[in-house]
Structure 1
């Protein structure tokens, strides 16, 4: 007797069930206690690691692989991680939100390395904004000007 391969609908349903079980399990897991080194300085250390992998072999370093794929792919991956973070926030799954937030920060740092931005530049910008109302700060930003391509003159 020949066995039939499962239909696409069956396979999709099974995949959804497995993902739902994983999400439910992950949401109920307790996070390990924070180490004494768990503070904002971990971002500076992570930046240093990603920076050190900039010219590493992409087959042995995830950071090197991301950086080798170029700005478009780095930005795309950051966007995917940001959306996953938003989904967990809206769903109220805080333990998954923590993990997705870490993914967002990592991919943001990869984007900084790719763009040549340093954490010190970002920290300085945050310090500059500190104590300023978010509304006032946003209003003080220069307004972008829209340019339209000039149309060729008709003779």
Structure 2
């Protein structure tokens, strides 16, 4: 297995961004024993909102999947910050919460959420398989289409 999360992402054609800092009164991650809780991460690349809008109109399912993937990459940046980048520190991705800004009629949230789920499995293999909630909401911070949070089990 590769030594770092950044190296694994690079093999998948992605760059691990620097972990973002909170914009309000919370922290980006909390470690409690072997559990690491990652605050919601949005689809931002280099401090720019990557996918803005509402899935279903005008954002397509494919664009929503891409937004979920970008948000998941930002989750990985927080995991890397908490573990000094050591991919071997992650025992399992326990749960993802995927929030999709969607029209009231939109009902394909799982297809959008697969952008995040597929990335976790690509990075961590079987340890990336997780439980998940894919939830539609009326809006998200900064007008982004998707936000992802995570619960991760780390090695003792």
Assess same fold via TM > 0.5. no
Work out which structure has the larger RCO, using CA pairs closer than 8 Å and 6 or more positions apart in sequence.
2
What TM-score comes out, normalization by structure 1 length? 0.29
More helix by share: 1
Higher strand share: 2
